[in-house]
Structure 1
């Protein structure tokens, strides 16, 4: 599943997306991980939600800036605010 026209272009939006995945707000079942990657065909970046056996459950396009600045958030999860 890919949402073509919905591009994540800021860290707050990435954080909301990751929290929605963590809390089950997107209706996805069997989520085991989240990662970032680059589409080989056109070089666009995306964040992907994976299920068992690396099955791709959902992707969202992200800007190049979010690909660079959001890596830590995707890799280590969203940090709770004080």
Structure 2
């Protein structure tokens, strides 16, 4: 998560990331879940992809606004929603 240029700052980008995760577009193996989290060191928010052992597979920083407004999207997923 060191790429500061890659912060998700809108719900469309969050949706694209979630679709990519759900459809296997990122090439991650063993994905068991996706969640929003807060970095204990500095309080910044991120979306995280975990495996069955709760190991972090992938993460992206998100803005405070996306963290607050995108929680349902992360919790419920986006594939198949109309």
State the TM-score, normalizing by the size of structure 2.
Answer: 0.92
Aligned residues: 80
Report the equivalent of 2:33.
33
Distance 1:18 1:3, change over 3 A: farther
Report the equivalent of 2:63.
63
Instruction: Determine if contact 1:49/1:57 at 8 Å carries over to the other structure.
Output: yes
Distance 1:25 1:3, change over 3 A: farther
SS in 2 for 1:8: coil
Instruction: Determine if contact 1:35/1:47 at 8 Å carries over to the other structure.
Output: yes
Listed as ranges, the gaps of 5+ residues in structure 1 are: none
Distance 1:18 1:50, change over 3 A: same
**Structure (1/2) with the larger strand percentage:** 1
Instruction: Report runs of 4+ in structure 1 exceeding 4 Å deviation.
Output: none
Instruction: Determine if contact 1:3/1:60 at 8 Å carries over to the other structure.
Output: no
Instruction: Determine if contact 1:45/1:62 at 8 Å carries over to the other structure.
Output: yes
